[in-house]
Amino acid sequence: MTFIASVIAKDGVAIIADSLVTSMNQVVEWKEFAAFLKNKIDNSGGQNVSLNPVDILNLFNKKPSHTKDFEDKLFQYDKYTAITTAGAAYINGKSVGKIVIEISKELSKIKGHLNKTFERRVKEFSEKLNEYTKKHLEKNQSIQGTTFIFTSFDKLSNKTKICKVNVEPNDSKKIKDLNFNCVNIATNADVKIVCDGQNRISERILLGEFEFFHDVAPRIVRKVIDDLKIDSNNIPANYIQDFANTSYSIWPVKYFDDVKMYKIAELSLQQAVDLAALLMRIEINFQKYTENIPTVGGVIKIAVINNEGFQWINGNEIVRPEGL
């Protein structure tokens, strides 16, 4: 689990990412197992209790087991572009950081690459990333979902463009399809803050019910498809994910007057850095009041991109230890 964010300013953009890596294990909580046994005993009427191995296995859920520091999640892609990542730390045995660097080096060798549109560069990145996911699924049964936030500042227009490149969770059976694509590009509404990470506390503060709907929209669509017994072959590829990514479009225009993320003022670059840091602190500090293990924190990396290009603000240098 992690927290990454890009905050747009009128004269640039601030980017932030933590560095904790969370390991997941299949576990069953003692309270859940005790409740399961009690239910079995109550339903047996005091007779011998029979335990079905399948029922026991169904009690297990994938949950964070421990964390470690340090894993890079914020990378300079080119002079005016940064990429942050949330999700799997490795794809096909390589760290996502190494993959980003490899793709960047390979594409930068193509003449005129930096002169291509933002959309074209993102598309080429996603195509290369899809090659890594296919190789991963050739050796593994499944792949974990991973998000790449692609943030780029255009010096000529003085505007920032952001989009998410998502590696969708998939199993190896699907790569038999010649048209298989594990990666999709999610466009964002015209907002000043784009963030990601499993906890997503900041997003809920910024978007409230709107963000909740974005989360549950795919489940609603799948339920409708199942209830109406619609043939999955008649559903356009990526329809469910695309519906979730553009769900904002079905809300009444007046609703956006109340959405805090759409009410953010024109920020200076310093304010954008401060707001990015505030959102990170919210994610980190809220963990203190939950039963879950901390999954956001470690070394916090912050960078900005403006007319002068990509610049590190925090977390990129080794510093003198405290007390020495």
Question: What are the tens digits of pLDDT across the range 235-271?
Answer: 887 788 777 767 666 666 555 666 667 678 899 999 9
Q: How confident is the model at residue 107 (pLDDT cuts 50, 70, 90)?
A: very high
| Separation in Å, CA 251 to CA 48, 108, 213, 254, 257 | 55, 40, 10, 8, 11
Give pLDDT, residue 25.
62
Looking only at the bridges linking them, the beta strands covering 90-91 and 183-187 are unpaired
User: Has residue 190 been placed in a domain?
Assistant: no
Q: Does some domain include residue 179?
A: no
Q: Report pLDDT for 287.
A: 84
Whether 229 maps to a domain, the answer reads yes
C-alpha angle 5-246-146 in degrees, rounded to nearest 5: 45
Taking the C-alpha atoms of residue 132 and residue 182, their distance in angstroms, rounded to an integer, is 10
Residue 117 binned pLDDT confidence (cut-offs 50, 70, 90): very high
Beta pairing, strands 159-167 & 142-143? unpaired
- Residue pair 29/40 in contact (Cβ under 8 Å)? The answer is no
Amino acid 297: pLDDT: 84
Q: What's the whole-number mean pLDDT along residues 297-308?
A: 94
Q: What is the mean pLDDT of residues 209-225?
A: 75
Task: For residue 78, tell me if it sits in a domain.
Answer: no
Give the model's pLDDT for residue 64.
Answer: 55
* Residue 243 domain flag: yes
Mean pLDDT of 132-161: 92
Nearest to 277 by CA among 10, 14, 19, 2: 14
What is the mean predicted confidence (pLDDT) over 307-324?
A: 89
User: Does any domain span residue 279?
Assistant: no
**Residue 7's beta-bridge partner residues?**
14, 193
- What is the number of domains present in the chain? 1
Residue 305 has pLDDT above 60, yes or no: yes
- Domain containing 241 equals 209-258
pLDDT band per the 50, 70, 90 thresholds, residue 123: very high
Within 70-156, strands assigned E span 74-78, 81-87, 90-91, 94-95, 142-143, 146-154
Pick the closest to residue 149 from 74, 98, 64 (CA basis): 74
- Nearest alpha carbon to residue 14 among 278, 305, 258: 305
Mean pLDDT for all residues in the chain: 84
Q: Coil, helix or strand for 196?
A: strand
In a domain, 266, yes or no: no
pLDDT band at 83 (very low <50, low <70, confident <90, very high): very high
CA distance linking residue 69 with residue 317, whole number of Å:
15
